[in-house]
Amino acid sequence: MLNVENVTKRYGEVLAVDGLSFKASPGSIHALIGPNGAGKSTTIRMILGILSPDSGSVLLDGKPFSAGDRNRVGYLPEERGLHKKQKLSEVLLYLAALKGCPEAAARARMDRWLERFGLSEWRDKRVDSLSKGMSQKAQFIASVLHDPQIVFLDEPFSGLDPVSADELLGYIREFRDEGKLVLFSTHVMEQAEKVCDRIVMLNRGKKILDGDLASIRREAGGNGLSVSFEPDRFGGGAPAEFLASLPGVVSIRAEGGEFALDLGPGANRDGILAALAARGGVRSFAVREASLHSIFVNLARRGGES
């Protein structure tokens, strides 16, 4: 069990983390989400003992994180960095050895991970010959090769194409099913929606939401809409501009051939449908649950009070 209790961290005049508290349990996936600069990376570094909080405490199984816990932990930092002039296999085995992993076990796990990520043919190539996406996958392998029980992933989807990102999400689910405690930070809230069991949402260093996704959506209220149009039948002007002008629409995203509308509290869906019908050319109109993106935007506009 990880217990973060009222931790605060300042950098000069900047309050990076403001009285943050939350708990995370083994066999679950917890997401720290929020925009860049919200305090996610600072929080992870305080949990790992890389940074010391100015106040508050971080307890792992009821005790402060210690040097003896390091081999139990796998950490993928936001700033990637493997030894570029070394062969990929050499770097991976060296890092596993630093975590106390026997060479035979590390080699067997390395072979499996390289195969899963399609990197087997690159095992004896220098790290600097890998593409950005390959390097990201290699860094992930390095962080989990020693089979840690606690996995911290800081912006794990950075540099990955959509297919690779979904692949990584599958591996994160596997860690949960194996009973590992998984905590990852991201500003890409759509990724968190796909995989997390619980969410801690930060804004300007302060917690503004904490709970499971279903409860957060239920408490936040509001819905979204999905709208699509028949080609060349919309009644004048650009559909996105018209949608943005409708009362209650907070934001719009193009998703394939549809527009995803995030609605604020009290938005009148029937009124929006009537306005669209008056314009003509509507092919589909469906209610969507409120997204984490829309929930965050609404909270941020109200000053972060949940």
- How does pLDDT run across 171-221, given as a tens digit for each residue? 999 999 999 999 988 887 788 888 889 999 898 899 988 998 878 877 765
Instruction: Domain 222-289: state its class.
Output: alpha beta
* Residue 117 CB-density burial (10 A; 0-12 exposed, 13-18 middle, 19+ buried): buried
Is the pTM here over 0.85, yes or no? no
Instruction: Domain 2-217: state its class.
Output: alpha beta
What pLDDT score does 223 carry? 67
Domain ranges for the chain: 2-217, 222-289
The pLDDT-based confidence of 145 (bands split at 50, 70, 90) is very high
